């Protein structure tokens, strides 16, 4: 969901990464495995340097808009209090009704990921060379059918 990060007291550094940089963020679910964005382990995460980061500093009274789907990392520079205000901008039926805090993917995305996981499990039944071939075909099909032209 879209989010306002409101800094009440204290100071924070905030790093934002576009959804376009997801291939470089080493995602595990919806979170990046790269925790130390100032000193990433480039042997373990070599593509992380390709991710364009946007950095800002928040002090008491500052408000930062974090768009839906943007990845963020926050480092507290001193003790502080902050509030997040999330809001839904998709039609209500797109959200899981049990998701009070907006931490879950939209329901259609969750279903699609589950279907993809089942498809990948099914490919495990094939010999490696065939599995590789059909997995690449699946990726190409996803790119062809689901990627925006201005997003490639």
Q: What predicted TM-score, i.e. pTM, was given to this entire model?
A: 0.78
**C-alpha dist (Å) from residue 30 to 19, 22, 25, 26, 129:** 11, 10, 10, 10, 30
- The residue among 15, 6, 12, 16 whose CA lies nearest residue 58 is 12
When pLDDT is averaged across residues 128-133 and rounded to a whole number, the result is: 96
Pairing of strands 53-58, 12-17: antiparallel
Binning pLDDT at 50, 70 and 90, where does residue 9 land? Answer: very high
- For residues 73 and 40, what is the distance between their CA atoms, to the nearest angstrom? 13
């Amino acid at each position: 969901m879209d989010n306002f990060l409101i800094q009440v007291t204290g100071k924070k550094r905030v790093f934002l990464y576009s959804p376009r940089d997801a291939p470089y963020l080493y995602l595990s679910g919806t979170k990046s495995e790269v925790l130390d964005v100032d000193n990433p382990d480039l042997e373990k995460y070599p593509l992380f340097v390709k991710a364009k980061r946007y950095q800002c500093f928040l002090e008491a009274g500052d408000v930062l808009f974090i768009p839906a789907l943007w990845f963020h990392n926050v480092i507290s520079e001193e003790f502080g209090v902050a509030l997040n205000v999330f809001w839904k901008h998709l039609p209500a039926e797109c959200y899981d009704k049990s998701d009070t805090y907006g931490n879950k993917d939209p329901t259609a995305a969750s279903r699609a990921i589950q279907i993809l996981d089942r498809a990948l499990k099914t490919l495990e039944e094939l010999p490696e060379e065939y599995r590789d071939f059909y997995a690449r075909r699946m990726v190409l099909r996803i790119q062809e059918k689901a990627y925006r032209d201005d997003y490639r």
